[in-house]
Amino acid sequence: MKISSTSIGMMLSSLTLTRGFVMNQTKTRARAINQVWTKARSQKRAQTTRILTNISGGDSSYSSIHGNSARILSTSAAVVTAASMIENETLCEDSSFPEEILQYDTYNGVTVYLEKLSENKSIDKLKITLEKSLTQWKNEGKRGIWIHIPSNYSAIVPICTELGFDFQHAKNGLLVMTQWLPTETSSRLPHGPTHQVGIGAVILHPETHEMLVVQEKTGPAAKRKLWKMPTGLTDPGEDIVEAAIREAKEETGLDVEFDRIICMRQAHGGIFNQSDMFFVCLLDLAPKYKSGLKNGEDVPLIPQEEEIAEIKWMPMEEFAAQDLWQGSPLYEEMNGAMIRVANSVMHEAAKKEGKEHANCSSEDEQCGLVAKNLPIGWRPGSQTIYVSRL
């Protein structure tokens, strides 16, 4: 069969266009390789170069037209293959967490702080890294693995659950998940936070020895029109002493000083089924108010706008006689402890003023727990201990 010169021309033009297209694609791939190349390890560069050289050499047995096209296509395939290899190698290189985001504990556990990553990593890379790390840690005999997940990495949460992690606790902007690696023993990792800590502030008038009480605007106490001591919850990292002083200032406007813990109560089944530790604290008015009283000035009371409806001084016996407390052994005991401490304070004040005739027993003088903030000693820092006045 004869082929016209026109047909041959069209075929050559088609091959030329194909060759041009492939060359353009090759150049684009080459530029992509150069970008990835810089991230690859030096020993891998030589290996990749050898692959490109061997594959792109072509086969001399091809005809001039078909041979050139085959070499071009072969080179393009090699470029794609090499780019894929380099990308995989780069992922492998990144498949370990930076040491600065890891913390190893004395229980043979590891904590991963994703919020400490210097740059955002893709979820795919994080998955590969986490899978490899879990395998490595299991081989090393690690036990408890903790991972801190900030909001900007929340997309990794489903991946963590697939890999065996479970929820430990959460707060604004942060989720903590854990995994126990040993399969032969049940998890010994602690549960999430189980308690909330509350305080009640007992503030006595220096002259009348009445108790400062408030009525709240909302809540169960407000519904019952109950007169109660100022109360509140501790903030994270806040001592009972600091919380009591802060809550008193917020709800009454008064500056106070911590004296002692009168008693504490433990309850269960509260908000989110958490337990509750409630500390009743005795607080002293700041000296400036006592000086003002001597000059005929009243103690200024400023109820908190958002929470407090009423505020006043009330005799402790009247406080304890409110209907809600009657028939409650728990609150009868709590209110009784508050009255005993109030009597102790009056007797102590009388002795300081030189009133030796004051009716005072040794039991009254030894009520409550006092706070002592002391150095730890064997490591930096200090902590607060509450000890009996006995």
Find out whether 280 and 262 touch, Cβ atoms under 8 Å. Answer: yes
Query: Is 9 part of a structural domain of the chain?
Result: no
DSSP state at residue 204: B
Q: Is the pLDDT of residue 151 over 90?
A: yes
Query: Stretch 317-338: mean pLDDT, rounded?
Result: 94
Choose the final residue of a domain: 126, 156, 180.
180
Do 202 and 153 lie in one domain? The reply is no
Higher pLDDT, 347 or 76: 347
The DSSP result for 12-60, as a single string, is: HHHHHHHHHHHHHHHHHHHHHHHHHHTTS-HHHHHHHHHHHHHHHT--T
Percent of the chain past pLDDT 70, that is, above it, reads 72
Query: Is 8 part of a structural domain of the chain?
Result: no
Query: Is 34 part of a structural domain of the chain?
Result: yes
Sheet with 256-267, side-by-side order of all strands: 231-233, 195-203, 275-285, 256-267, 369-375, 382-388
**pLDDT for residue 368:** 83
The DSSP result for 312-361, as a single string, is: EEE-HHHHHTSGGGTT-HHHHHHHHHHHHHHHHHHHHHHHHTT-TT----
CATH number, domain of 128, equals 3.40.630.30
Q: Can you give the C-alpha Rg of the chain in angstroms? A: 38
The tens digit of pLDDT for each residue in 224-262 reads 999 999 999 999 999 999 999 999 999 999 999 999 999
Angle formed at CA 236 by CA 285 and CA 181, multiple of 5 degrees: 155
Query: Domain tally for the chain?
Result: 3
Dist. CA 47–CA 362, nearest whole Å: 88
**pLDDT for residue 269:** 85
Do 278 and 152 lie in one domain? The reply is no
Torsional class of 247: left (φ above 0), alpha (ψ -120 to 50), beta (otherwise): alpha
The tens digit of pLDDT for each residue in 163-197 reads 999 999 999 999 999 999 999 999 999 998 899 99
Query: Is 239 part of a structural domain of the chain?
Result: yes
Do 80 and 209 lie in one domain? The reply is no
Q: What is the pTM of this model?
A: 0.70
252 three-class SS: helix
Q: How confident is the model at residue 115 (pLDDT cuts 50, 70, 90)?
A: very high
Dist. CA 292–CA 326, nearest whole Å: 37
**pLDDT for residue 301:** 97
Q: What is the domain extent for residue 161?
A: 99-180
Do 108 and 202 lie in one domain? The reply is no
